[in-house]
Amino acid sequence: MKRKIYDELLKYKNSTNKKPIMVLGVRQCGKTYIIERFCENEYKKHYTLNLFDRSDIVNLYESTKSSEEKYKQLKSMINFDFDDPDTALFIDEIQKSENLISDLKFFCEKHNNVNIICAGSLLGVKLKRFSNSFPVGKVWMLDMYPMDFEEYLIAFNENMLLDDIKTCFKNNKAMNALHEKALLYYRNYLITGGMPESVKNLIEVENDYIKYDKRIIANIIESYFNDMKKYVTNKSESLKIRRLYDSLPNQLSNSSHKFQYSKIVKKGKSREYESPLDWLISANMVLKVNCARLPEIPLKGFENYEVFKLFLSDVGILNNLLNISINNILSDNLGLYKGILAENYVANELTSSGIPIFYWKSKEEAEVDFLIETNKDGVIPIEVKASENTKSKSLNVYNDLYNPKYMIRISSKDFGFNPNTKIKSIPLYATFLIKELI
């Protein structure tokens, strides 16, 4: 499966300022697969070192030997000369050794000819709780996410449809007859989400939804919490993490449109759940979108850390937690959760595009789903509508208050622009292209 992060890895390979690279992302989003394919394709030789299988190397880095001694012994232990510039060393599950992570600084400063790529499950959690000295500035960090909708279409060999979507986006032209086909793929994506194993299964059964295995995503969710046991020794914290995570589908339907600790358990307090929330964010299992007090550049300077929304890392996971039937998704019979799935999907697409996202809420009832910052047009509001019924007071209120250059409405309607309302209509399936406006 083609993954866009491959191009980022190529930039690393062609960089003159070599640093070890560390790929962060939610478990089972395809990190190991794509890194191994990259190493196979781009280097004459490569070696995959999985620290789960090599306690001897973990022990080596816990020893009092100098960094240079460890470096030389590592080469001998794996019998691989990674000093050769046409080789690559892939260290998987690197979170097993804090000392090896710390020694990446040594690799960068003393052996910057080495092509070294690192990844690991719950690596973000490990780094957040790092007790050693992290090699700040000496490691190239890359975020990886589940497959976005563009990668999804590529996986289904729909490159011509993808080209049509890009052309219509660029020229602000309607898709017309192809619109419904693209929307059907969007609904298919709501079923599988972007987890590669889930997508691969639907491809293998040739889009036969009766044969599609919904247990794949359920098993992925459980694997997250099985991994959690390696990092959380306090049973009470484990229970709180799970309780918070399980509350998210209900949280997304809050009339207040913000995360509330009291929705986890009655009278729940932030001080009880700050650590579990931080764990889920660090594990990339949830996305935190803060409210901006004022929609001005830089949005980061106006965010309210206490008022926020949480989204699941993958819309397929949200669908699985809600136990929505495949027939209801395909027939678009989703009721209230039709909009909730769409908003979570948009949050995933914008995040995987590398776009920092916020939202805005007035003192009254008006709320804009997302705010993004552009280089030439300032702050642009984005409203998400799951259907063709696109009437909304919130954008009108926002326009009256802040007069943006234009506004974006993502919905099931075709491409279009209304110069009177300044609203640019973007179909749900084209959300991944909003990065072109930045």
Average pLDDT, the chain: 93
DSSP for 64-80 reads S--HHHHHHHHHHHHT-
Q: State how far the Cα of 213 lies from the Cα of 132, in Å rounded to an integer.
A: 42
Indicate if the pLDDT at residue 183 is higher than 80: yes
Q: State how far the Cα of 261 lies from the Cα of 258, in Å rounded to an integer.
A: 10
Give the model's pLDDT for residue 390.
66
Give the model's pLDDT for residue 402.
96
Query: Sorting pLDDT into bands at 50, 70 and 90, what band is 51?
Result: very high
Looking at residues 265-291, what average pLDDT do you find?
91
Is 47 exposed, middle or buried, given 0-12, 13-18 or 19+ CB atoms closer than 10 A?
middle
Better-predicted residue by pLDDT, 91 or 251: 91
Give the model's pLDDT for residue 16.
79
Better-predicted residue by pLDDT, 137 or 299: 299
Per-residue tokens: 37? 């394919």
Non-local CB neighbours of 338 within 8 Å, separated by 6+ positions: 332, 386, 387
Give the model's pLDDT for residue 391.
72
Which of these, 129, 124, 54, lies nearest to 92 by C-alpha position? Answer: 54
Looking at residues 396-407, what average pLDDT do you find?
95
CA 102: distance to chain centroid? 26
Query: Sorting pLDDT into bands at 50, 70 and 90, what band is 388?
Result: low
Q: State how far the Cα of 424 lies from the Cα of 387, in Å rounded to an integer.
A: 16
Query: Sorting pLDDT into bands at 50, 70 and 90, what band is 215?
Result: very high
Sheet of strand 423-427, all strands in order from the earlier edge strand to the far edge: 303-312, 286-292, 358-361, 367-374, 378-384, 407-411, 423-427, 416-418
Give the model's pLDDT for residue 334.
85
Any idea what DSSP says for residue 428?
G
Give the model's pLDDT for residue 307.
93
Q: State how far the Cα of 307 lies from the Cα of 193, in Å rounded to an integer.
A: 27
Supply φ then ψ for residue 108, to 5 degrees: -65, -45
Indicate if the pLDDT at residue 340 is higher than 90: yes
Q: State how far the Cα of 60 lies from the Cα of 291, in Å rounded to an integer.
A: 46
Indicate if the pLDDT at residue 389 is higher than 80: no
Q: Cβ(188)–Cβ(194) under 8 Å?
A: no
User: Dmax of the chain from CA atoms?
Assistant: 70
- Reduce the DSSP state of residue 288 to 3 states and report it: strand
Q: Cβ(133)–Cβ(102) under 8 Å?
A: yes
Give the model's pLDDT for residue 336.
80
Strand positions, DSSP E, 317-438: 358-361, 367-374, 378-384, 407-411, 416-418, 423-427
Q: What is the pLDDT of residues 341-353, one digit of tens each?
A: 999 999 999 999 9
Give the model's pLDDT for residue 263.
87
Domain parsing of the chain, residue ranges: 5-144, 215-437
What dihedral do alpha carbons 122, 92, 117, 193 form, nearest 10°? -50
Q: State how far the Cα of 350 lies from the Cα of 294, in Å rounded to an integer.
A: 20
What architecture does CATH give domain 5-144? Answer: 3-Layer(aba) Sandwich (3.40)
Better-predicted residue by pLDDT, 268 or 213: 213
Pairing type for strands 303-312 and 407-411 reads unpaired
The stretches of 205-334 forming alpha helices (DSSP H) are 215-228, 235-251, 270-282, 315-322, 326-330
Supply φ then ψ for residue 314, to 5 degrees: -150, 130
Indicate if the pLDDT at residue 50 is higher than 80: yes
Residue with tokens 């969007």: 186
Q: What is the pLDDT of residues 147-159, one digit of tens each?
A: 999 999 999 999 9
Which of these, 350, 134, 321, 131, lies nearest to 224 by C-alpha position? Answer: 321
Per-residue tokens: 339? 């909009």
Per-residue tokens: 71? 């470096």
Better-predicted residue by pLDDT, 263 or 69: 69
Query: Sorting pLDDT into bands at 50, 70 and 90, what band is 130?
Result: confident
Q: State how far the Cα of 395 lies from the Cα of 111, in Å rounded to an integer.
A: 54
Indicate if the pLDDT at residue 240 is higher than 80: yes
- Looking at the DSSP bridge assignments, the partners of residue 117 are 21, 90
* Helix H or strand E encompassing 257: none
Beta carbons within 10 angstroms of residue 355's beta carbon:
17
Q: State how far the Cα of 337 lies from the Cα of 253, in Å rounded to an integer.
A: 8
Give the model's pLDDT for residue 293.
93
Residue type, 353: S
Burial 166-196 (b: 16+ CB within 10 A, else e): eebbeeeeebeeebeebbebbbbbbbbbbbb
Share of residues in the chain with pLDDT > 70 (%): 99
Strand positions, DSSP E, 6-119: 21-25, 45-50, 87-92, 116-119
